[in-house]
A and B are shown apart, each in its own frame.
Chain A
Amino acid sequence: MSSENAAEAKFVDERPPSLVRQAFRLRRTQIGAVLALMLISVALIGPFLAPFGSTEYVDLPNTLSVPGTIFGTDYFGQDVLSRFLFGGRTILILAILATSIGITLGTTLGLTAAYLRGRADEAIMRALDVVLSFPQVLLSLVVISMFGPSNVLIIFTVGLSTTPRIARIIRGAAIGVVERDFISAAEALGESRKRVVFAEVLPNVTSSLLVEMNLRLTYSVGLIASLAFLGFTPEPNAANWGLMIQENRVALTEQPWGVILPTTALALLTIGTGLIGDGFSRVSAGIDRGGKGE
């Protein structure tokens, strides 16, 4: 016994660090986190640094050299830099809320389908297939033109349209988990279905969930920006990176900053979250293979 304890004492610190910590050991995850944090801080504190108001008129539209501005004026005679500094908050909040809805719904449905299997699984996945069979942009487009663009609606449509994809992924991940014996063990104890799904299955799909969360956040940002491109936006001229690209796109040759700044910001943000997601997926892939001995 004593020898086992001695071996044990050494073994305690051998617990693999949590998924998150492991992921953040990777270079790419660190870079991603730095990028994402950078952009999030621009979005959060930007409004306090802006030299002009978000809708304040500064000079003739699309003028590059305007005294007092660094990047000139945009399509509507507003300061490009100030618009940029103001524009991160909305799109981030929209994207995060939309993703949360998608993740919550998608996870619940995916787990339920995976756990119940059989007809319930079939019914849930068929229903989601119906939603999925409308491409995201289309779905959003139709729904938004039905009710008119509003932030709540955009959040819901974008969230709902990501739901089936998340549900699919989560179901895929959970199918493997529900086959495992600890689920049987919980069932043998007569645990309620709800508890089995959320307390036993859910914690074991977190790696897929994290990867998916990042991916969907990226998609949501892109989708919201694309909707703005197609002219669906609740408040025209609201400072919003996605909308900003669309607004200033026409004048790209005369005033490139109005497009370059938000595009770079969105790209860096999505690259950041993408790298984090990538890190997670690499680490979790390692975990999934971990069982393979020698």
Chain B
Amino acid sequence: MSNAAGLRIVDLRLNVVATGNDIVDEINLTIEKGRVLGLVGESGSGKTTVGLAVLSHARRGVEVAHGQIFCGDTEVLGLDSEAKRKIRGGLVSYVPQDPASSLNPALRIGLQLLEVLEAHNFGGSDEARKARIKEMMAEVLLPTDDEYLERYPHQLSGGQQQRVGLAMAFACRPSVIVLDEPTTGLDVSTQEHVLKTIRQLTRDHGVAALYITHDLAVIADLADDVAVMYSGRVVEQGEVSEIFKNPAHPYTRHLVAAAPDIASKKSIVGLAGRAQSPGKRPVGCAFAPRCELAEDACRVEFPKMVSVGGRQTAACIKANQKVAVSVASSKAMSTRTRGEPAVELVSVSAGYSGNTVVHDVSLTVRKGECLALVGESGSGKTTVSRAIGGLHREWTGSIRLNGRELKPMARQRAIADRLAIQYVFQNPYGSLNPRRTVGDSIARPLVVDGKSKSGARQVVLDVLDKVSLPGSYANKYPDQLSGGERQRIAIARALVSEPEVLVCDEVTSALDVLVQAAIVDLLGDLRRQLGLAMLFVTHNLPLVRSIADEVAVMSEGRIVEVGPSESVIGNPQQQYTQSLISATPSIERSMR
């Protein structure tokens, strides 16, 4: 492995053009050839901005204020526009987050591959280029025949699309590659393959790779080094093993503590508050407002990077004080006797316009317990949950609430039944009407139930308190809230009618890891306090271990395995479950 720096970022700052506020600042990173640097952080922390800057690109309204970026020996920020064009895709290439939207839907993949080569005059002749394309396709484990290259992006699966993205990125043998969450949205098994390919390609070709992600487990699995970003600054960096085994910055410590892990039953811990957007960031350490160790000195100026040992450095004045995050709060999982069945599904099959996608599913959700329904995308788990919520029209079989048969659609059900089952949606950005105050949205079930608006008011305040939000939130609009807050509001709305059953459909998948931990924490508390029966639908296997009593694994519309979560995850019986679990990256497993 060569030791020469493949990518060197020196004192980089990017501003919002309109205001001059910094989006990212004081970024110093070095990646050696053949190594992968994982850049982690919450959404909004500036990871992608840094990644794009490596290609000397800034999005509309953003500009480079100062700094240098060396790809090999070339400083890319100072190039003229034609030179910039030449290095992009040639010297340094980019693998975007969402392959489905990043491949041009109107062009055949063969052409999209070919044009990169043409633009950089790679190969010299058409034959050479065609050969190169085939070579690349083979390297990313895709078919190399012409028919395949004639396909349009939508004719490929998500994993295949991302492989095409990789092929494109590696086509001109770049020396630096930026990968921006390339596996987000992919199923774990696909993710595993893609990660393997990335690792292979970077090592084989001696490429310096900047891998941007919010998923710590992926970093642990793939990267050599890690840099943690918070509010536009790198707060800690070092080798993977150093960081995960011994996180020095309080933020990093929280991140690690909040990440669920498939390899162990772990109580995950959230953290209140959120990072501020550019221009609103506090003076000094941006993390100080949320930091339990913060003192006045932290609020004066941004802390210098201090060495923690080895290659590890952290931007915290207390970096060398080894303080554990108060993980102690870990609440014991209930081990009491099984509750009464609240919702029972017997031989439920469901479909869309005649195509059955859920076959013969039977499940029981008990009072006071949480049943996790897990499966990859398309497994039918959401259809099942929507059928329970009365949102899916086409289903057969029987769904019973406390022994009573339920009608298919919510509108046909008795008000009491409607209110007894409450649904929390996946996307907190879509589940609240943006034109309505939070209070109105929460109170709506009460109004439907016939309560007066003024009577509802007090209940709304109570329920806001239950989800740990102040009463003043009732007058806010959803767009004034962060994702986590919105999801709390959505939960509050579900709780207001004092339901017996809570159906949570991927409620944390759109949230950052710290927020996810907090929501999971909240749901656990509520379940215990209110004796709710909970159906927790998710694709996130590690999370299941931290929240559910029981787990049902779904694949292709069928339940493949049901049982207590510890035994199913810890000791899966079915081959499908086993492969799912082994494909899921794990920090603990990687650190062993």
What residues of chain A have their CB less than 8 Å away from a CB belonging to chain B? Answer: 1, 3-8, 10-12, 14-16, 180-182, 184-191, 200, 203-204, 206, 290-291, 293-294
Judge if B359 is at the interface, Cβ distance under 8 Å: no
Judge if B477 is at the interface, Cβ distance under 8 Å: yes
Determine whether the beta carbon of A184 is less than 8 Å from that of B423. Answer: yes
A/B interface sample: 7 pairs, CB < 8 A: A1-B468, A3-B289, A14-B280, A16-B479, A188-B423, A190-B411, A190-B418
| Cβ-closest chain A residue relative to B46 | A294
Complexed CA–CA distance, A191 and B431 (Å):
15
Judge if B336 is at the interface, Cβ distance under 8 Å: no
Q: A residues within 8 A CB of B425?
A: 181, 184-185
Specify which of A10, A184, A190, A294 is in contact with B47 (CB 8 Å cutoff): A294
Determine whether the beta carbon of A181 is less than 8 Å from that of B43. Answer: no
Q: B residues within 8 A CB of A204?
A: 433-435
Interface residues of B in 409-454 (CB under 8 A from A): 410-411, 413, 415, 418-419, 421-423, 425-427, 429-436, 441, 444-445, 448
Q: B residues within 8 A CB of A293?
A: 43-44
Complexed CA–CA distance, A216 and B48 (Å):
42
Instruction: Spot the interface stretch: B80-88, B160-168, B187-195, B268-276.
Output: B268-276
Determine whether the beta carbon of A187 is less than 8 Å from that of B273. Answer: no
A interface: dominant SS: helix
Determine whether the beta carbon of A187 is less than 8 Å from that of B391. Answer: yes
Considering residues B49, B419, B421, B444, which has the most beta carbons from chain A within 10 angstroms of its beta carbon?
Answer: B444
Q: A residues within 8 A CB of B436?
A: 203
Determine whether the beta carbon of A191 is less than 8 Å from that of B448. Answer: yes
13 other A-B residue contacts (CB within 8 Å) besides A184-B423, A190-B448, A293-B44? A1-B468, A8-B470, A10-B276, A15-B477, A16-B479, A180-B431, A182-B433, A184-B391, A187-B390, A188-B390, A189-B410, A203-B435, A206-B435
Q: A residues within 8 A CB of B429?
A: 291
Determine whether the beta carbon of B445 is less than 8 Å from that of A189. Answer: yes
> Quick one: given A182-B431, A184-B391, A204-B434, are A4 and B411 in contact (CB under 8 Å)?
no
Q: Write the nearest CB–CB distance from B246 to chain A, whole angstroms.
A: 26
Specify which of B43, B386, B413 is in contact with A190 (CB 8 Å cutoff): B413
Considering residues B46, B49, B410, B421, which has the most beta carbons from chain A within 10 angstroms of its beta carbon?
Answer: B410
Judge if B74 is at the interface, Cβ distance under 8 Å: no
Q: Write the nearest CB–CB distance from B211 to chain A, whole angstroms.
A: 16
Complexed CA–CA distance, A188 and B408 (Å):
11
| Cβ-closest chain B residue relative to A14 | B480
Specify which of B272, B430, B444 is in contact with A4 (CB 8 Å cutoff): B272
> 7 nearest interchain CB pairs?
A203-B435, A181-B425, A181-B431, A180-B430, A181-B430, A15-B480, A4-B272
Complexed CA–CA distance, A290 and B434 (Å):
13
Q: Write the nearest CB–CB distance from A278 to chain B, whole angstroms.
A: 19
Determine whether the beta carbon of B433 is less than 8 Å from that of A200. Answer: yes
Q: Write the nearest CB–CB distance from B420 to chain A, whole angstroms.
A: 12
Complexed CA–CA distance, A185 and B492 (Å):
13
Q: Write the nearest CB–CB distance from A118 to chain B, whole angstroms.
A: 10
Complexed CA–CA distance, A200 and B425 (Å):
16
> Quick one: given A15-B479, A203-B435, A203-B436, are A7 and B46 in contact (CB under 8 Å)?
no
Judge if B476 is at the interface, Cβ distance under 8 Å: yes
Complexed CA–CA distance, A187 and B391 (Å):
7
Determine whether the beta carbon of A15 is less than 8 Å from that of B476. Answer: yes
Judge if B260 is at the interface, Cβ distance under 8 Å: no
Complexed CA–CA distance, A284 and B301 (Å):
39
Determine whether the beta carbon of B430 is less than 8 Å from that of A7. Answer: no
Judge if B153 is at the interface, Cβ distance under 8 Å: no
Q: A residues within 8 A CB of B426?
A: 181
Judge if B389 is at the interface, Cβ distance under 8 Å: yes
Interface residues of B in 372-411 (CB under 8 A from A): 386, 389-391, 410-411
Complexed CA–CA distance, A145 and B96 (Å):
61
Q: Write the nearest CB–CB distance from B212 to chain A, whole angstroms.
A: 10
Determine whether the beta carbon of B479 is less than 8 Å from that of A6. Answer: no
Judge if B311 is at the interface, Cβ distance under 8 Å: no
Q: Write the nearest CB–CB distance from B39 to chain A, whole angstroms.
A: 12
Q: B residues within 8 A CB of A4?
A: 272-273
Complexed CA–CA distance, A187 and B26 (Å):
50
Complexed CA–CA distance, A189 and B417 (Å):
10
Q: B residues within 8 A CB of A12?
A: 476, 480
| Cβ-closest chain B residue relative to A201 | B433
